[in-house]
Amino acid sequence: MKAYLGRHAQVFMRTLGDFARSPAATLLTVAMIGVTLMLPTGLYVALLNLQRLSHHWQPRGSLTVYLKRHTDTRATAARLDALPGVAASRYISPEQGLQELRTRARLRVAVGILRHNPLPAVVILRPRSQTAHAVAALARQVATLPGVAHVESNFTWLRRLDAVLALGHRAVAILAALLGLALVLILGNTTRASVASRAAEISVVRLVGGTNAFIRRPFLYAGALAGGLGALCALIFLELALWALDGPVQRLDTLYGSAYKLVGLGAGQALGLLALGAGLGWLGARIAVGHQLRRDQG
Amino acid sequence: MIEFSHVFKRYPLGTEALSDVSFTLAKGEMAFLTGPSGAGKSTLLRLVCRLERATRGRIVVNGHDVSRLSPRRLPYLRREIGVVFQDNRLLNDRTVFDNVALPLFVAGMTGEDVRKRVWAALDKVGLRGRERAYPLALSGGEQQRVGIARALVHRPPLLIADEPTGNLDAKLSDDIIDLFREFNDHGVTVLIATHELRHLERLRKRVIRLGHGHMVDAA
């Protein structure tokens, strides 16, 4: 076991040495992989932020219930509050509504002109269940109650946003699959070139009894290492991009009067990306070197 | 140690390199393989370590049926044979030490054992102290001796050499052949392909003669 580890450590160190001896080529490959991985990861992080932002803007799935005039609106409100699907409710009387309008500077004059209060009483409901289905069902139920004039839900646009985000996620998944394939191909090609340039060495290793596993090993290490370093490069690009975007986002936030902080990848996800990069690099190298060796053996 | 029975080797374009070659080389024996250029000496040696496959016939090397050996088992056959080429086939981007150590690395040996074996092998060929040199900094004779050290560092029971003295002057050439005889004295089976008749007369070992792919004399 110790000898086994020693052997692997030896090959690993030699691979690092090979990288250090050709820094330009290594840097190019690693940067290329970095950009390739950065694209889907960046999009994913953008979607993540958009999703968080949509939560931030609106309590999800609240219902605005407009009550009929000239009815006992408080009683209706109490009935609404008692519904089993309702987590919380807030009653806004016509007077309160008008008061709220007055506080808005631009509307103050308009409100002053009004001779009587045109606003209906309103109840804002927060459904107990936040699933699309449950909120829609509650909206239908509320609409049939006596004393209710109209139910409006912010749900439609939220659902549209969700659909758009789902589409985005799917697009990211497709892009990630394609670019993952690109990474395998990039490293496959690099490996093929490096196997070809070491043909003399490989033939000597064969002659003295090197197994295919022994011949493959340095190339697999090189592939995995380049993939891993590429992923690290992608993480660095991503952090730089987030850092560059942070200022403008802060400004936008102040204008909207909310406080939003951009999120990047978590530690687990970052490690996952590194592992994925190394794994795909290994795979690309494995396919290329396996193909070369089979051809050699003919 | 080596047993050829009715071996044929035909190349794709129809040239027959070997036809109906049979001979046996016993364990611990030393023999010269000789004949004019193009007689099939190199082909025969390449068949022994299965750098090529025979078209027909049976080849047994150290108990392995070479023509039936699976690719997976092939490396283990090669580890039992030390091979020396005329063009020595050294890796010029690695030091003498790394070149000689290659068969040990390949077999999974590491650390102190490797160092001891490599030093011993270099000592035997008279190159102790040149471990850190690169092959291109050495003379032709020295390079050939590095190749020999690499062929015997893992102590194979069989050593085969294809024109190991081809590019060397008479003195160096004799030294190298003497080196092979010394290994043979230690029990290694040795088969050397050469067209230098001088060695045959000097050493009085067994001679296997090939002529245009045919066995001329195996006595």
The residues of B whose Cβ lies within 8 A of any Cβ of A are 49, 51, 71-72, 75-79, 83, 89, 91, 102-103, 105-111, 150, 154
Domains, chain A, with CATH or none: 2-57+159-297 (no CATH), 63-153 (3.30.70.3040)
Q: Which class does domain B1-80+159-219 fall in?
A: alpha beta
Looking at A57-61, A107-111, B68-72, which range is the least confident one? A57-61
Find the mean pLDDT for residues A39-44: 89
Partners of residue A204 in chain B, C-beta under 8 Å: 89, 91, 102
Model-level pTM?
0.72
Q: How far is CA A15 from CA A184, A274, B96, B105, in A?
A: 19, 18, 20, 15
Instruction: Say yes or no for a CB contact (<8 Å) between B75 and A209.
Output: yes
* pLDDT, averaged across chain B: 89
Q: What is the structure's pLDDT at A18?
A: 76
pLDDT digit string (tens) for B48-103? 989 888 999 999 999 999 988 888 889 999 999 999 988 888 999 889 999 999 99
- Does A200 lie at the interface with B, CB-CB under 8 angstroms? yes
Instruction: Give residue A3's pLDDT.
Output: 66
pLDDT higher than 90, residue B118: yes
A94 pLDDT band (50/70/90 cuts)? confident
DSSP 3-state of B8: strand
Average pLDDT rounded to a whole number, residues A120-139: 80
Residue A297 pLDDT > 70: no
List pLDDT tens digits, range B5-31: 999 998 888 788 888 889 999 999 999
Contact check, Cβ <8 Å, A3/B108: yes
Q: How far apart are CA A186 and CA A281, in angstroms?
A: 9
Residue A11 scores a pLDDT above 80: no
Question: Which of the residues A197, A198, A204, A293 would you substitute to probe the B interface, choosing the one with the greatest number of B C-beta atoms within 10 Å?
Answer: A204
Q: Model ipTM?
A: 0.86
For residue A39, the SS3 value is: helix
CB spacing of B75 vs A297 below 8 angstroms: no
Nearest CA in chain B to A206: B75
Residue A298 confidence (pLDDT): 46
pLDDT bracket for residue B135 (50, 70, 90): very high
Q: What residue segments make up the domains of chain B, in order of their start? A: 1-80+159-219, 90-155
Closest by CA position to A190, among listed A123, A263, A282: A282
What chain B residue is nearest to A294 in terms of C-alpha separation?
B71
Residue of A nearest to B88 (CA): A204
pLDDT of residue A61: 66
- Mutating which of B94, B102, B143, B152 best tests the A interface, going by the most A Cβ atoms within 10 A? B102
What is the per-residue pLDDT across A95-106, written as a single tens digit (0 to 9) for each? 888 887 777 767
SS (H, E, C) A130-161: CCHHHHHHHHHHHHCCCCEEEEEECHHHHHHH
Residue B207: pLDDT over 70: yes
- B87-125 in b/e burial notation, b at 16+ Cβ within 10 A? ebbbbeebbbbbbbbbbbbbbebbeeebeebbbebbebb
Phi, psi of B156, deg, nearest 5? -75, 150
pLDDT digits (tens, 9 = 90+) for A207-258: 998 898 889 998 999 999 999 999 999 999 999 988 888 888 888 777 666 6
Contact B127, B137 (CB under 8 A): no
| Distance to chain B for A203, nearest Cα, Å | 9
Copy the structure tokens of residue B122. Answer: 């270099």
Instruction: Say if A14 is an interface residue toward chain B (CB within 8 Å).
Output: no
Mean pLDDT, residues A290-297 taken together:
79
Beta bridge partners of A86: A127
Instruction: Please indicate if any CB of chain B lies within 8 Å of the CB of A8.
Output: no
pLDDT on residue B137: 93
Rounded to whole angstroms, the Cα distance separating A238 from A232 reads: 10
